[in-house]
Structure 1
Amino acid sequence: MAPEPDERDQPPAPALHAHGVVKRFGPTLALDGVGLTVRPGESHALVGRNGAGKSTLVGVVTGLHRPDSGTVAFGGAPAPAFGDRAGWRSRVACVYQKSMVVPDLTVAENLFLNRFEGERIRWGRLRRRAADLLAEYGVDVDPGARAGQLAVEQRQFVEIARALSFGARLIVLDEPTAQLDARGIQRLFTKLRELQAQGVAFLFISHHLQEVYDLCTAVTVYRDARQVLTAAVADLPKDELVAAMTGDRPGAGAPSWRAAVRPRRTSEPVLRTEGLALDGEFEALDLAVRGGEVLGVAGAAASGNTALGETLVGMRRATAGRVTVHGRPVKPGSVPHALDAGIGYIPEDRHRQGLVPDRSVAENATLTVTGRLGPFGTVLPSRTREFALTMIDSLDIRTQGPDQPVSGLSGGNAQKVVVARALARGPAALVAVRPTAGVDVKSKDALLGVVRQVADDGSAAVIISDELDDLRVCDRVLALFHGRVVAEYDSGWTDGELVAAMEGVHGVAAVEGTDGMGERT
Structure 2
Amino acid sequence: MSAPVVHAAGVGKRYGPTVALHDVSLTVRPGESHALVGRNGAGKSTLVSILTGLSGTDTGSVSFGGEPAPPLSKQDEWKARVACVYQHAMVVPQLSVAENLFLNRHARGGFAIGWKKLRRQASELLDSWDVRVPVDTPAGELSVEDRQLVEIARALSYGARFIVLDEPTAQLDSQAIERLFERMRHLRSSGVTFLFISHHLHEVHEVCQAVTVLRDARHVLTAPVEDVSRAALVDAMTGEQGGLSVRDAAVRDPLAVDADEVLTVDTLSGDGFHDVSLRVRRGEVVGLAGSNASGKHQVAETVYGLRSPTAGIVAVEGRRLPPGDIAAAVHAGVGCVPRDRHHQGLVLGHSVMDNATLSVLDRLGRGGFAPPKVRRSRGARALSDYGIVAAGPEQPVSDLSGGNQQKVVLARALESDPRLVVLINPTAGVDVKSKEALLAVVDRVRAEGKAVLLVSDELDDLRLADRVLVLRAGAVVAEHGAGWADSALVAGIEGAGPRA
State the TM-score, normalized to the length of structure 2: 0.67
Q: 1:138 aligns with which of 130, 154, 164?
A: 130
Q: 2:305 aligns with which of 309, 314, 330?
A: 314
Q: Distance in 1 between matches of 2:243 and 2:179?
A: 35
Q: 2:437 aligns with which of 465, 469, 478?
A: 469
Q: Distance in 2 between matches of 1:393 and 1:198?
A: 55
Counting aligned pairs with the same residue, the percent is 45
Matched, 1:16 2:6: yes
Using the TM superposition, give the Cα deviation of residue 61 of structure 1 relative to its aligned residue in structure 2, in angstroms. Answer: 0.6
Q: Distance in 1 between matches of 2:189 and 2:11?
A: 30
Matched, 1:244 2:219: no
Q: Distance in 2 between matches of 1:285 and 1:218?
A: 46
Instruction: Check whether the contact 1:17–1:36 (CA below 8 A) recurs between aligned residues.
Output: yes
Aligned to 1:31: 21
Aligned to 2:405: 437
1:393–1:46 Cα change, 3 Å: closer
Matched, 1:43 2:24: no
Instruction: Check whether the contact 2:357–2:412 (CA below 8 A) recurs between aligned residues.
Output: no
1:265–1:198 Cα change, 3 Å: closer
1:356–1:131 Cα change, 3 Å: closer
Q: 1:168 aligns with which of 144, 160, 165?
A: 160
Listed one character per residue, the Cα deviations across residues 440-462 of structure 1 (whole Å, up to 9, x for unaligned) are xxxx8xx979959959xxx5667
Q: 2:63 aligns with which of 50, 58, 73?
A: 73
| Structure 2 counterparts to residues 66-215 of structure 1, below 5 A | 66-116=56-106, 120=110, 121-215=113-207
Query: What secondary structure does 2:20 align onto?
Result: strand
1:41–1:392 Cα change, 3 Å: closer
Using the TM superposition, give the Cα deviation of residue 66 of structure 1 relative to its aligned residue in structure 2, in angstroms. Answer: 1.5
Q: Distance in 1 between matches of 2:288 and 2:324?
A: 23
Q: For residue 243 of structure 1, what is the amino acid of its counterpart?
A: D
Instruction: Check whether the contact 1:147–1:155 (CA below 8 A) recurs between aligned residues.
Output: yes
Using the TM superposition, give the Cα deviation of residue 79 of structure 1 relative to its aligned residue in structure 2, in angstroms. Answer: 0.9
- What's the Cα RMSD here? 5.2
Q: 1:227 aligns with which of 219, 224, 232?
A: 219
Aligned to 1:427: none
Using the TM superposition, give the Cα deviation of residue 21 of structure 1 relative to its aligned residue in structure 2, in angstroms. Answer: 1.8
Q: Distance in 2 between matches of 1:156 and 1:453?
A: 38
Using the TM superposition, give the Cα deviation of residue 85 of structure 1 relative to its aligned residue in structure 2, in angstroms. Answer: 0.7
Query: What secondary structure does 1:412 align onto?
Result: coil
Aligned to 1:331: 322
Q: Distance in 2 between matches of 1:321 and 1:90?
A: 54
Instruction: Check whether the contact 1:297–1:463 (CA below 8 A) recurs between aligned residues.
Output: no
Q: Distance in 2 between matches of 1:481 and 1:353?
A: 16
Q: Distance in 1 between matches of 2:272 and 2:106?
A: 38
Q: Distance in 2 between matches of 1:224 and 1:193?
A: 31
1:487–1:224 Cα change, 3 Å: same
Q: Distance in 2 between matches of 1:219 and 1:481?
A: 26
1:412–1:235 Cα change, 3 Å: same
Instruction: Check whether the contact 2:313–2:321 (CA below 8 A) recurs between aligned residues.
Output: yes
Where does the alignment leave 5 or more consecutive residues of structure 2 unmatched? 382-390, 428-433, 447-451, 466-483, 490-500
Where does the alignment leave 5 or more consecutive residues of structure 1 unmatched? 1-10, 256-260, 374-380, 399-409, 417-433, 491-508, 515-521
Query: What secondary structure does 1:156 align onto?
Result: helix
Using the TM superposition, give the Cα deviation of residue 307 of structure 1 relative to its aligned residue in structure 2, in angstroms. Answer: 7.8
1:342–1:481 Cα change, 3 Å: closer
Q: For residue 126 of structure 1, what is the amino acid of its counterpart?
A: L
Q: Distance in 2 between matches of 1:335 and 1:94?
A: 36
State the TM-score, normalized to the length of structure 1: 0.65
Q: For residue 55 of structure 1, what is the amino acid of its counterpart?
A: S
Using the TM superposition, give the Cα deviation of residue 58 of structure 1 relative to its aligned residue in structure 2, in angstroms. Answer: 1.2
Q: Distance in 2 between matches of 1:254 and 1:152?
A: 30
Query: What secondary structure does 1:437 align onto?
Result: helix
Listed one character per residue, the Cα deviations across residues 301-341 of structure 1 (whole Å, up to 9, x for unaligned) are x8999988755532344689865422434334211221332
Q: For residue 56 of structure 1, what is the amino acid of its counterpart?
A: T
Using the TM superposition, give the Cα deviation of residue 80 of structure 1 relative to its aligned residue in structure 2, in angstroms. Answer: 0.8
Using the TM superposition, give the Cα deviation of residue 395 of structure 1 relative to its aligned residue in structure 2, in angstroms. Answer: 4.0
Q: Distance in 2 between matches of 1:194 and 1:169?
A: 13
Aligned to 1:59: 49
| Structure 2 counterparts to residues 395-410 of structure 1, below 5 A | 395=378
Deviates more, 1:11-20 or 1:145-154: 145-154
Instruction: Check whether the contact 2:422–2:454 (CA below 8 A) recurs between aligned residues.
Output: no
Aligned to 1:495: none
Instruction: Check whether the contact 1:488–1:512 (CA below 8 A) recurs between aligned residues.
Output: no
Instruction: Check whether the contact 2:287–2:453 (CA below 8 A) recurs between aligned residues.
Output: yes
Q: For residue 60 of structure 1, what is the amino acid of its counterpart?
A: I
Greater Cα radius of gyration, structure 1 or 2: 1
